[in-house]
Chains A and B, each alone.
Chain A
Amino acid sequence: MSHSNIIEIRNITKSFPDKVVLDNVSLNVKPGEFLTILGPSGCGKTTLLRLLAGFNNATSGTISIDGKDMTDIPPHKRPVNTVFQRYALFPNYNVYDNIAFGLKLQKVDKRDIEQRVKRALKMVGMTDYEHRDVESLSGGQQQRVAIARAIVNRPKVLLLDEPLAALDLKMRKDMQMELKEMHRSLGITFIYVTHDQEEALTLSDKIVVMNEGRIQQIGTPTDIYNEPCNSFVADFIGESNILNATMIHDRLVRFMGIDFECIDEGFGENREVDVVIRPEDIYIIRNAEAAMFRGEVRSCIFKGVHYDMIVATPDGYELEIQDYNAFEVGTEVGMLIKPADIHVMYKERTENHVRGVMTDATHVTLLGESFECEAQEGIVAGMEVDVAFAFDAVELTDDSDDGTSWGIIRFILYKGDHYHLTVRTDDGENIYVDTHDVWEDLDEVGIKISPKSLRIKAL
């Protein structure tokens, strides 16, 4: 085992009877790093932190901290301390006794305790609050005490579970700066969990983006922002325009019906890809003739430093563009994109693939329901099959009883001229749907697939 990593997470899976929360997660953390685990709610990030702290046990896989396997080590014997989202101060103790709690258990000398508590309080800017009742403190002050209570024990790793989520915006910004400063002066490893991408970009040395129990990308904030590895990351971090595209050949990509020069290579020829263009990377000019493509300004909102505009192209694409100059709604404008600002990403999938079983020649059971299909040569009842269908072959209905199967919309990605939805069906499979209709996150929908569009292959 190499000792250059303070934390090594190997193939961790955590499943509950009804759900897999973490799916084969592996991760190394270097000593002194400020690492942020970032993802939407329910992505498994808090579970991962709780496994590190020892509050839960993994279903499989190992975690080692500081070179020692932590599998059978209970939380009170681990060299980590946690800062909780809702502070979790002990209401029956005052500020001093809260911070001294860990040291007293370690039987540290009384004078030593006093010094260390004072130093910790100074570090979080709460000198002279020793004898205050913790419940008389504001949220921000309580969180400072919680941080002091954790760092006073000099842990090897400090775990922070959305510590600023309950604070108001101004307080949050202040605390971010203080946390960063604290990390610098303490020199210990911080593992920080948040769903706030801005917070992650501000604070971290390294960001781990998670979704649906899997790590999507690990990288520095600039890597993650500039080179997102898939459309989920691109959408989750910052604002972005994500479009379907075709890589014609190296350094030439086609989207919105136009060929653009780019700098990406190695995707092959005529390959379906996603492109992401940040709103600040599209240049908007008044002279529509000189532009690469044209459009009409649909909305323009002042955002303090820049204007946030939606521009519609004649082909029906809508792009988000940020510019220091305002363009009035209704103006015809031209747009330019530099080759270096087009980021090409592999598509995770280009169509749905679901496992099913043939019930008879014209019916296949998939997603827990029987779907009608066309009779296929060589496919007979009882066969296990792979069923493929296009994203736009799926029809969603308002009434979840109306479809053959039903599901819940888990993720919505706008792709310029349509929405790309992730629908979790009632038996736990994900299917992906392209649609022009507007749905909302967590909507319950009925799922219909036309018999003609199901392509069935024996497994």
Chain B
Amino acid sequence: MKRIFTNGYLLLLLIMLYAPIIIIAIFSFTESPVLGNWTGFSTDLYANLFSGGVNNSLIDAIKNTFIIALTAATASTLLGTIAAIGINDLRYGKRRVMNFVNNIPILNPDIITGISLFLLFVSLGISQGYTTVILAHIAFCTPYVVLSVMPRLMQMNPNIYEAALDLGATPYQAIRRVILPEIRPGMISGFILAFTLSIDDFAVTIFTNGTDGLQTLSTYIYADARKGGLTPELRALSTIILVVVLLLLLIVNIRSRRQARRAEALSQSNNPRRR
């Protein structure tokens, strides 16, 4: 009896969580312009999406989204990694302060980040558009990269950087040949995280995209929905994005599990008693 309740509760919870997403996915396979009307199975919405059957501004929005996400993710991976290496080198007290400072933007509501960046750009006189959106995305993605690189650095034997210097490597060579291979998994996870966060973002983008009509997917969809009803092709697009994000998430999870297993095997083989 108790079991039925717990399982039932869990089922209910999962339905509540996933129903909206699943409904969109299901209705992406029918042509009806109104969500909720099933007019027979069809892949026309997908076909329209790729054959140019939708208006150009949606295609532009998709392009913008990916360009911004790629640029922001690349830049924040670079910045975040350098920051993490620097923070890891600090003495204990300063390191704690820097970690705390790094966490503030993560906990800060997006809307506040958006407004502050908007005000910053205005006060600096930077005209808003591509540059400001990319800068804003780099700003809120970088702390996540720091968070995902940090654990790798902390696990690393602190002497290996010095060992590389000792064997004749310049600081640059030591980082490239010894530190980077060690933290690369963290950097890749950080990149993927930054990429999905950037695609996903609405609040920060809407405040920084200016008045020249720069749209990303999220702002486009928002504007479209307000004009009266969603363009049906968006259902297909949402489904595609859902699948892509799901795949990325799976990759990140599988990677981190594999790493955890490797670390465990390592710590066992390093135990001298187990000879």
Contacts and interface: CB of A to CB of B under 8 A. Distances in A.
B182 A168 contact: no
Contact of A139 (B160, B170, B270): B270
B266 A135 contact: yes
A101 B167 contact: yes
B241 to A, nearest CB: 35
Contacts of A80: 166
B165 A88 contact: no
A459 to B, nearest CB: 37
Please name the 8 residue pairs, one residue from A and one from B, whose CB atoms are nearest each other, closest first.
Answer: A88-B159, A102-B167, A92-B181, A88-B163, A75-B165, A84-B159, A105-B168, A82-B166
Given A105-B168, A153-B168, A86 B157 contact: yes
B275 interface: yes
B229 interface: no
Interface in B44-103: none
B269 interface: yes
Contacts of B166: 53, 75-76, 80-82, 150
Interface of B: 157, 159-160, 162-171, 173-174, 177-178, 181-182, 266, 269-270, 272, 275
A91 B272 contact: no
A167 B270 CA distance: 11
A376 B173 CA distance: 67
Contacts of B159: 84-86, 88
Mostly helix, strand, loop or mixed at chain B's interface? helix
Interface of A: 53-55, 74-77, 80-82, 84-92, 101-102, 105-106, 135-136, 138-140, 149-150, 153, 166-168, 171
A443 B150 CA distance: 36
Contact of A82 (B163, B174, B178, B269): B163
Contacts of B163: 82, 84, 88-90
B170 to A, nearest CB: 6
A76 B178 contact: no
Contact of B157 (A88, A102, A149, A153): A88
B168 A76 contact: yes
A139 B167 contact: no
Contacts of A150: 166-167
A167 B272 contact: yes
A75 B171 CA distance: 10
A74 B159 CA distance: 16
A136 B269 contact: yes
Contacts of B171: 74, 76
A76 B169 contact: yes
A76 B275 contact: no
Nearest to B160: A88
Contacts of B170: 76
Contacts of A106: 168
Contact of A138 (B160, B182, B266, B272): B272
Contacts of A135: 266, 269-270
Nearest to A140: B272
Contact of B162 (A55, A92, A166, A168): A55
User: Taking each of A87, A88, A140, A150, which has the highest tally of chain B beta carbons within 10 Å of its own beta carbon?
Assistant: A88
B160 A105 contact: no
A168 B275 CA distance: 11
A185 to B, nearest CB: 22
A274 to B, nearest CB: 40
23 contacts: A55-B162, A75-B162, A75-B165, A75-B166, A76-B165, A76-B170, A76-B174, A80-B166, A81-B167, A82-B162, A82-B163, A84-B162, A86-B157, A88-B159, A88-B162, A89-B163, A90-B164, A90-B178, A101-B169, A135-B266, A136-B269, A138-B272, A139-B272
Nearest to B181: A92
